[in-house]
Amino acid sequence: MFSKTSDQSLPASAPQTPNGFGKSVLASDLVIKGEIVSTSTVEVLGQVDGKISAKTLIVGVEGQVKGSISADTIDLRGTFDGSIAAHNLSLRATSDVRAEVHYATLSIESGAVVEGKFKANKA
């Protein structure tokens, strides 16, 4: 299991997000099986098989995720298979998604490959 602590002692050169925490980038040569938890932004460029929970999640064009993901904002550009829970969900033209999805707002670009069950969360 991987998790990100709320240690505020990041080096001055660390990239900063609006909430003050750095962005975690999982490189394209990285394969993770397990759980990832972050209170900030996670960008997946490699492969993840498991569960991801973050404030913001970006799955890059070359990124592949299988499992469950939950975040306030999810920007999918790569491949995903599993379940999604998001407040704001964007499926980009390069995305290939097979999922059961729960969302508040949804954006699907032309060219996205989408298959699954979509359910809007009620306010």
Residue 7 within any structural domain of the chain: no
Residue 106 within any structural domain of the chain: yes
Residue 6 within any structural domain of the chain: no
Q: Find tokens 């550009």 and name the residue.
A: 77
Residue 12 binned pLDDT confidence (cut-offs 50, 70, 90): very low
| Residue 38: Cβ-neighbour burial (10 angstroms; 0-12, 13-18, 19+) | buried
Residue 1 within any structural domain of the chain: no
CA-based R_g, the chain, Å: 14
- Read off the pLDDT of residues 60-98 as tens digits, 9 standing for 90 and up: 999 999 999 999 999 999 999 999 999 999 999 999 999
How many separate domains does the chain show?
1
Which residues, other chains included, contact 7 with Cβ-Cβ below 8 Å and sequence gap of 6+?
A: none
Average pLDDT over every residue of 21-31: 88
Residue 113 within any structural domain of the chain: yes
Residue 11 within any structural domain of the chain: no
Residue 4 within any structural domain of the chain: no
Residue 25 within any structural domain of the chain: yes
For residue 78, the enclosing domain spans: 17-120
Bridge partners of residue 103, in order along the sequence: 86, 120
